[in-house]
Amino acid sequence: MSSILVYAELSEGKLASTSLELMAKARELGDVYAVALGAGAKAAAATLGKHGAKAVHVSEDAAFDDYIAEPATDAVAALTEKEKPDAILFGFTPDSREVAGRLAARLGTGLISNASDLVAEGGGFVARVPYFGGAKVASMKANGKPAIVLIRPKSFEASETGGTAEVKDLGVAVSDSSKRAHIVERVAEASEKVKLEDARVVVSGGRGLGGPQNFPMLEDLADALGGAVGASRAVVDAGWVPYSMQVGQTGKSVRPGVYIAVGISGAMQHTVGMKTSKVIIAINKDAEAPIMKMADLGVVGDALKIVPALTAAVKKKKNG
Amino acid sequence: MKIVVTVKQVPDPNATHTLEGDNTLSREKEAVLDPGDECGVEEGLQLKEAHGGEVVLVSMGPERAKDAIRKGLSMGADRAILITDAALAGADALLTARALAAAIKGESPDLVICATESYDGSTGMVPPMLAELLGVPQLTFAKKVEIDGSTVKIHRQTADGYQIIEAPTPALVTVTAAIAEPRYASLKGIMAARSKEIKQVGFADLGVDKGEPAETIEGVVDAEARKAGEVIEDDGTAVDKIVQVLTTAKVL
Ligand SMILES: Cc1cc2nc3c(=O)[nH]c(=O)nc-3n(C[C@H](O)[C@H](O)[C@H](O)COP(=O)(O)OP(=O)(O)OC[C@H]3O[C@@H](n4cnc5c(N)ncnc54)[C@H](O)[C@@H]3O)c2cc1C
Ligand SMILES: Nc1ncnc2c1ncn2[C@@H]1O[C@H](COP(=O)(O)O)[C@@H](O)[C@H]1O
């Protein structure tokens, strides 16, 4: 049986949902244990246990929250030395990828980044990696020992198996030499009512909305549906909405029950972040836009007219 | 202050790409300086303008990568190093980072600037690997960079806002496209770039351990496409149709 180490990402005491998605995959591949670092690690261990971790190595040293990458790299490197996992899984998220990169360089093994799936094959691991913005998928055999693989968020569905993890104190002291890139302040800009990544309905807007003044229209619709608002990179780059709303290759991955793309052409770099949505609805005035070829329902028309009418109809249906 | 900016030549994002028989990207098409690295060059130049010093470009790639380097030089960078060697063809992120690290060590910069991820590789792994190999802290996803004596301070873009990060130099910073609008090269800049030095080094000059590639590509297939559904003109009934789909999907 292979041994799989999952790097459980904590941010301000909260376990990242991606880590639980990784657990679901890791269980298929072998015996799973995890490492959780920083505030909330012990509470996270209980959750990880329910998702199939046999053991969780924890440390609640504040250095893991306050300094970027280096303390975590030291800890995972020491753990790897001791436990010799066959594979280490990271989420392809900003925080995890920094640790994974440093770790692979330190261990001298290299890694596979941006994977969308991982399978056991011939005694090793083969990752599926989308490229060209998701048009092609490559099968890559991991040569590293351990195999270090970064997997895109929302690639798998998290599910509980109902177990209990043994909590093991990591017992490493973070050295002062690793306390360098210091987070001195956290500034929250977006006060999201519903988290984009976890919303069951996402209404995303693109350049077709014509300008930032029309984005509140999408908020009204999202509110009526209990969902969240996303955006294409074109409008984020144009400064209409903050980066936190960007969906796609260089933004967030989402997998809602319904994704409504409004005035978005459907470039591959965008669709790679939303194409696993259960139902896709597109509103676009161009019947030839690529998004129309992947939507379950494509509506050819003017978004500025359709969206307010749709919001009204949704409200009416809910109240009536 | 000495600033190294890593720059990569990539296939033009506006062209269509093809694969070679060995599953590597065809490099024959139009190639350009990575748009992300263009932002890195711009930020390097702005820091130099504020604090003095030198901007050195470091790149690994085939000889034709000189075209991309020239672009950075014509924007205003001072000189460049190109690591080029047949032995490095198809290098993975770790080998790339090892080669870049060896060349950068020789420069002992105060600051190394990379883009958060390349347009073509998109692994985002070269910068953290490079930081580890150089033994410096990494400050990533910067949308703003400030230098104060021997401290570098950035605004790091996060999912719901930003963090303010500080570290002592030498350090490595990765920048997002939000950092700065790259300048256009002036005619004067283009002329001046012709006489700027591009030092070419081979793999053997670097004394790097080649190591094993992290992965072996076993095959490439077209991604599974979603099936197209129904496309309707908005003839006044579209809203009803959408409501119907929302209801079937149980979100209404
Ligand atoms: C390395 C790299 C990474 C990238 N990462 C991302 C990413 O993470 N996310 C992302 O989204 N993009 C990303 N992109 C950019 C991507 O390639 C596209 O440029 C971008 O998604 C286009 O945004 P858009 O659809 O809003 O704009 P456009 O492509 O300009 O499309 C606008 C659409 O609106 C329609 N329209 C116009 N008016 C109306 C109207 N009144 N009513 C209805 N429809 C209308 C038009 O028909 C058109 O289809 C990336 C690109 C690169 C090179
Ligand atoms: N061959 C290369 N030459 C110079 N810089 C590179 C090279 N590969 C990657 N980089 C740098 O690292 C960044 C991230 O690349 P990647 O890790 O491939 O996504 C790039 O934008 C460059 O700044």
Full pLDDT tens readout for chain A, 320 residues: 899 999 999 998 999 999 999 999 999 999 999 999 999 999 999 999 999 999 999 999 999 999 999 999 999 999 999 999 999 999 999 999 999 999 999 999 989 999 999 999 988 999 999 877 677 899 999 998 999 999 999 999 999 999 999 999 998 889 999 999 999 999 987 666 788 988 999 999 999 999 999 999 999 999 999 999 999 999 998 999 988 899 998 889 999 999 999 999 999 889 989 998 999 999 999 999 999 999 999 999 999 999 999 999 999 998 87
Percent of chain B with pLDDT over 70: 94
State residue A168's pLDDT score: 97
> For chain B, give me the number of helices (H) and strands (E)?
7, 13
CA gap B205, B182 in Å, rounded: 33
* Structural domain that includes position B86: 2-206
CA gap A61, B74 in Å, rounded: 48
| Atom 41 in ligand 1: residue holding the nearest Cα | A302
Question: Which atom of ligand 2 is nearest the CA belonging to B116?
Answer: 14
Domain membership of residue B98 (yes or no) is yes
Domain membership of residue B86 (yes or no) is yes
- Ligand 1 site, residue A300, Cβ cutoff 6 A: no
Q: What are phi and psi of A81, to 5 degrees?
A: -55, -45
Among A37-46, B21-30, B113-122, B170-179, the least confident range? B21-30
Where exactly does CATH 3.40.50.620 map onto chain A?
3-178
Contact B223 A135 (CB under 8 A): yes
- Total tally of structural domains belonging to chain B: 1
Strand boundaries in A20-86, DSSP class E: 31-37, 55-59
CATH of the domain at B33: 3.40.50.620
Where exactly does CATH 3.40.50.1220 map onto chain A?
196-319
Contact B166 A243 (CB under 8 A): no
**Ligand 1 pocket mutation, candidates A93, A265, A302, criterion most atoms within 8 A of CB:** A265
* B191/A contact by beta carbon, under 8 A: no
Task: Supply the Cα-derived Rg of chain A in whole angstroms.
Answer: 21
Pull the structure tokens for residue B74. Answer: 């014509």
Domain membership of residue B233 (yes or no) is no
Domain membership of residue B95 (yes or no) is yes
Question: Which atom of ligand 2 is nearest the CA belonging to B127?
Answer: 12
Do residues A226 and B252 touch, judged by C-beta distance below 8 A? no
Chain A residues whose CB is inside 8 A of the B250 CB are 257
| Block residue for tokens 């003044």 | A213
Contact A102 B252 (CB under 8 A): no
Q: What lines the ligand 2 site, CB under 6 Å?
A: B 6-8, 34, 36-37, 40, 59-61, 93, 96, 100, 114-115, 117-118, 121-127
Geometric angle at alpha carbon B67, from B64 and B73, rounded to 5°: 140
Distance B187 CA to ligand 2 centre (A): 28
Contact B214 A142 (CB under 8 A): yes
State residue A1's pLDDT score: 83
Which of B136, B133, B69, B47 is closest to B96 using CA atoms? B133
CA gap B131, A22 in Å, rounded: 26
Contacts of A271-280 spanning 24+ positions with Cβ under 8 A? A271/A134, A272/A130, A272/A133, A272/A134, A272/A248, A273/A247, A273/A248, A273/A249, A274/A202, A274/A204, A274/A230, A274/A247, A274/A248, A275/A134, A275/B226, A276/A154, A277/A202, A278/B249, A279/B245, A279/B249, A280/B226, A280/B229
Contact B141 A94 (CB under 8 A): yes
CA gap A303, A282 in Å, rounded: 10
Ligand nearest to the CA of A306: 1
DSSP type of residue B210: -
Interface A:B, Cβ pairs < 8 A: 258
Which among A73, A113, A225 has the least Cβ separation from residue B125? A113
Chain A residues whose CB is inside 8 A of the B251 CB are 200-201, 225-227, 257-258
Chain B residues whose CB is inside 8 A of the A194 CB are none
ipTM above 0.90, yes or no: no
* B167/A contact by beta carbon, under 8 A: yes
pLDDT digit string, tens, across residues B133-152: 999 999 999 999 999 999 99
Ligand nearest to the CA of B116: 2
Q: Tell me the residue type at B31.
A: A
Ligand nearest to the CA of A210: 1
In chain A, whose CA is at the least distance from the CA of B164?
A: A185
Contacts for B195 with CB less than 8 Å, ≥ 6 apart: none
Contact B214 A132 (CB under 8 A): no
Contact A111 B139 (CB under 8 A): no
Distance B14 CA to ligand 2 centre (A): 19
Contact A70 B247 (CB under 8 A): no
| Atom 25 in ligand 1: residue holding the nearest Cα | A264
Do residues B61 and B82 touch, judged by C-beta distance below 8 A? yes
- Ligand 1 site, residue A232, Cβ cutoff 6 A: yes
Domain membership of residue B243 (yes or no) is no
* B211/A contact by beta carbon, under 8 A: yes
Domain membership of residue B214 (yes or no) is no
Domain membership of residue B134 (yes or no) is yes
Q: Which fold has domain A3-178?
A: Rossmann fold (3.40.50)
pLDDT digit string, tens, across residues B14-62: 665 566 666 665 555 678 999 999 999 999 999 999 999 999 999 999 9
Do residues B233 and A155 touch, judged by C-beta distance below 8 A? no
Q: Which CATH class is domain A196-319?
A: alpha beta
Domain membership of residue B93 (yes or no) is yes
Mutate which of B242, B245, B247, B248 to disrupt the A interface (most A C-beta within 10 Å)? B242
